[in-house]
Chain A
Amino acid sequence: MFGTGLIVFRETLEAALFIGIIAAATRSLEGRTRWLVLGVALGAIGSLIIASVMERISNLASGLGQDLLNAIILSTALLMLSWHSIWVTAHAREMSEQARRIGTKVSQGTAALWAVTVAVAMTVLREGAETVLFVAGLVSGSTEGIASLVVGAMIGFALGVAVGFAIYRGLGYLNPRRLFSITNVLILLLAGNLASQLAKTLQQADWLSLLNNSAWDTTELLPNDSLLGLFMHGILGYDASPSQLQVLFYLLAITLISLGARHMKIQLKNTKS
């Protein structure tokens, strides 16, 4: 029961941290709760569909079908999050001003919310399909009592969600102006995390076979499967021994998004004056 809970917790945590940060970052956008719920729902339905055809997907592309799917999911989430991050940075002043006036919300944020909804759906999809297959395997193949395994899975899920919710509430205590600068950085890091995982997927499938050596190894200091390691992975994209390509992708994503945001800010200023 404990082992089961731990695995489900691990899968849930990454998505929950992602959603918690996004929810805090989009607080002042009109109708954002509906959009986020839509994202989670689409991701959950998608997980069930993907899980049911996962065997066929795996055997595609001579055993690399799943990597192809993961690469598509990760790139889509990365593109959407980048677009959102650039939009939010460009509209930062407007958003924090609106947030300070209680009750008013930024109403032209639909494009940014669309992007976030897709990114959330992709994240839920990625973690969800694995969890569904794991739990399905438990239920069909178990000799132990199924009830205790299901309870374990549910506790793991609830704890993962609770941590995501705690992050959301914690960020909510910050004053609006500081909230936006912090969530902007956090979203940038989430994008870096997606880029790093995309690099790993491409290397694992040998589609991109360069910079394969690990950039560092801090397994003894902070292992991937420790609680802090998991948390740091969800927030910063921490990996105990990432390949050099992963680090490059991470830095590249952060740099390109920052440059894009600066460019858009300047353009907006020029069109206004």
Chain B
Amino acid sequence: MKNLYISGIFACLAIAGQVQAADNEIMIVIKNHQFTPSEIRVPVQQRIKLNIHNQDSTAEEFESHSLNREKLIPAGAKAVIYIGPLKAGSYDFFGEFNQSTAKGVFIAE
């Protein structure tokens, strides 16, 4: 019964998610433990969809304290993360597993 209830909730959420199409899509590639592009301009006060493709042979964790986001991206996998709406300003992000090289910033304007 509980399971039925949970799957019901997720079905509704999935439908709600599909109705809301994201207008702002950004592609980011992880290679050699670096983000490309690493400096990204994004519009303010809008929902933004990040498509991140990890082309390395090891996992990475996309993380940003100022955006309140973290997501594991296994080797070779693609991941989607939604951020925003953002106020004008800059928002750092990094790869938790390779913090010395994997760094980047969003500039909302």
Contact = CB atoms under 8 A, between A and B. Distances in A.
Contacts of A224: 65
Interface residues of A, number: 47
Interface string B6-45: 1000100110110010100000000000000000000000
A63 B16 contact: no
B79 A141 contact: no
| Residues of A contacting B: mostly | helix
A148 to B, nearest CB: 16
Contacts of B61: 130, 134
A208 B16 contact: yes
| Residues of B contacting A: mostly | mixed
B5 to A, nearest CB: 9
Given A55-B74, A59-B77, A242 B68 contact: yes
B51 interface: yes
Interface of B: 2, 6, 10, 13-14, 16-17, 20, 22, 47, 49, 51, 56-61, 65-66, 68-69, 71-82, 84-85, 96-97, 99
Interface of A: 3, 7, 54-55, 58-59, 62-64, 66-68, 71-72, 75-76, 79, 129-130, 133-134, 136-138, 140-141, 200, 202-209, 212-214, 219, 223-225, 239-243
